[in-house]
Amino acid sequence: MSIRSDPLERLAIPDGTTVEERDLVTDGDVIVGGQSTVEFGVRGRTVVAGERVTFGHDIEAAGDCRLDMWCDVAGNVLVGEDAYIGERTRIGGQLMVSGDLDIGDDVDIERGFEANGWIVIRNPMPTVVFFFVYLSHLLRIGEEEEAREAAEELLGDAEADEEDEEPDPLIVPRGSSVSDDAWRVSKPGVVGDDCRIHGNIRATSLDVGRDNNVFGSLRARGDITVGEGTRVHGDVTTKRGTVRIAPGAEILGDVACEDLSLHDDAAIDGSIRARGEMSIHREFARETE
């Protein structure tokens, strides 16, 4: 992981993420950039949201939950450890916290709250702002190793041993919209393996892993890669990029692109429109960033 890059500058859907009824469910952390809308409920380990984030249903965090200023949650917030609620946040249901509660001014909790630990009412600095201010300070004084350790503590250490490796976080970049109809982001998107996703995915580029089930279409301005065994229940469209389709992948709709690289064991049920080069291969090489 590069400390110099912004971890919120992409949509990242980790392995095994599913949409179950009204909830977006993942084994790892959930990080949502500011001014985003998530019409699903969210279930994960630690849930972190920037300011002015809207959630359409419940939040269930097995670990901590950190909501910055002006967030809006339509349902309940259930927290397995500690909760940090920024000022002027609204919670349409109950707030239940197993650990400590740190809560800002003018927070509206319509059905009341309960915390088993300490309750502190104050105006805390927004969590995401604090995190990046802290990282910037460490980098400015040359403490890159300490900054890397701090980032890995929040986002998970990708270089840890396999038995100690924590699940990757689900990351929604700033200003995004996520719903059962569409996932709209203005950044690149990466989907892991064995995911079940509802909604059309819109991003600047898309890299979809293995054995996914996408109940919607894929659209990007740049390249799109569809991994082995993935099934897309819709179209795959890019304006200027290349579409790469791996063996065992199935596209139930149309494919429209500049160039197309198709494995001969992949299937496209609809029409193919490639303005440039179209090639069929017996081998598939995934391009990595």
Query: How far is 274 from 209, CA to CA, in rounded Å?
Result: 23
Among 288, 257, 287, smallest CA distance to 275 is for: 257
Per-residue pLDDT tens listing for the chain (289 residues): 444 455 678 999 999 999 987 899 999 999 999 999 999 999 999 999 999 999 999 999 999 999 999 999 999 999 999 999 999 999 999 999 999 999 988 899 999 999 898 887 765 555 555 666 666 767 777 777 777 776 666 655 444 444 456 788 999 999 999 999 999 999 999 999 999 999 999 999 999 999 999 999 999 999 999 999 999 999 999 989 999 999 999 999 999 999 999 998 999 999 999 999 999 887 765 554 4
User: What is the phi/psi pair of residue 264, to 5°?
Assistant: -75, -5
Confirm if 226 and 232 have CB atoms less than 8 A apart: yes
Predicted local distance difference test score (pLDDT) of residue 263: 92
Predicted local distance difference test score (pLDDT) of residue 9: 84
What strands lie across the sheet with 267-268, from one edge to the other?
Answer: 113-115, 95-97, 77-79, 59-61, 41-44, 23-25, 18-20, 196-198, 213-215, 231-232, 250-251, 267-268
State the helix-helix crossing angle for 127-140 and 144-155, rounded to 10 degrees. Answer: 160
Query: In angstroms, how far is CA 205 from the centroid of its own chain?
Result: 15
Query: How far is 20 from 39, CA to CA, in rounded Å?
Result: 13
Identify the three-state secondary structure at position 152: helix
Model pTM score? 0.81
Read off the DSSP letter of residue 68. Answer: -
